[in-house]
Amino acid sequence: MVAMTHRPLRKSQLIAFDHAAAGHDGILSDVSGEVLAKPCGQAEIDFYESTRTHPDFAYYIPIHCGTLSLGQGHDLPEAAAVFPSTTAATAPEPWVPTNGGKLNTDCAIVLENVAAGLRKPNILDVKLGARLWADDAPPAKRQTFDALSDITTSKPLGFRIAGMKTWMGAKAAGLNQGGLDGYKVYDRHYGRALTPETVREGFENYFFIDSAGITKRFARRVIKRFLGDLHGLQEVLEKEESRMYSASLLFVYEGDGAGLQADFETEKQVLDLETEQQLLELETVQHGVLSNGYPVRPVLENEGVSIEDEDEDDDDDDDDDGVEQLPKIQAVKMIDFAHAAWTPGMGPDENVLHGIRCVIQILKGLLTQ
């Protein structure tokens, strides 16, 4: 795991982020790519802050670093920094679908970029739940989201693929196998067209990419690690009482086959293992899962970022020299908590858990392919 460095976040260092696989437009990144500024409402900020009292669950979400006030014209790559942020009261407006457009908000939450540290991250966003609206949703939103759930895998399986980006290899750019950067993008329409019978194909397209050197052997090793994370998340959510409508699972892993192979070898050396089989048998050390499958959140020193004025000096000192770290290979985190709350007395969130369990079954099926 690569620990986040402690450094200032300045308003001139925010740029457009181009690795989002789904969700709303307008996400910004710092120049290093370590953190993201995601436009959101106060409810999502409050939920992230509340996870401090739910440390087992907090392991399975991006690290929360602070908040920003984007100010007027937040579509520009510049933001005025404040901490903590506040929102002005506004009169409610009729609900209209955003269709992935920018949110009408001046607030942003600053989060770790889960894909940071990967050479060519392959990204998958899986929207969880058959029911996608919260109790305060207006009738028009309920009807729209229920109709979408009915015609996609959301209703029968409790999830749907919201978007994917996969690296197709160094030669892909000129062969119409990917975009100009070699990535192939699967938008929300791709996931909506999948059925319970064909949704497995979506995961196959995400994991098995021969042109990038992601062989079935490498893919299965990555899948096994994801399964360890998902089982841990499932166990945590079965003990929590919450409701998280329209939350997602964000999967990322190293999409460069040569780099992935090198990372497996480096991991074996760092852990001082003599054979690859020992590494395969080892519990998922990198993402903090013990032999009993229970997650333990790793302690990250100097975790997060500080928010400073533009004219303050930046004293970066990398004092991690000589400390050998495990390479980052993959991660899965829950994201999108605009409609999430802790609900004591209401039991676990079976709406979300059903989707997680179905994803687990599909991934298990890929191991036998």
Helices marked H in 8-124: 42-50, 55-58
End-to-end CA distance of the chain: 29
Buried b (16+ CB within 10 A) or exposed e, 103-112: bebbbbbbbb
Q: Tokens 């966003």 belong to which residue?
A: 125
pLDDT tens for each residue of the chain, 369 residues long = 334 444 445 545 655 655 554 444 568 877 777 888 888 889 999 999 999 999 999 999 999 988 877 664 333 233 333 223 333 334 445 545 555 545 555 788 889 999 999 999 999 999 999 999 999 999 999 999 999 999 999 999 999 999 999 999 988 755 555 555 889 999 999 999 999 999 999 999 999 999 999 999 999 999 999 999 999 999 999 999 999 999 999 999 999 999 999 999 998 888 876 666 666 665 444 444 433 333 333 333 333 344 444 444 444 444 455 556 789 999 999 999 999 999 999 999 999 999 999 999 999 999 987
The residue type of 109 is I
Sign for the CA dihedral angle at 161, 14, 40, 109 comes to: positive
Using a 10 angstrom Cβ sphere, with 0-12 exposed, 13-18 middle and 19 or more buried, the burial of residue 308 is middle
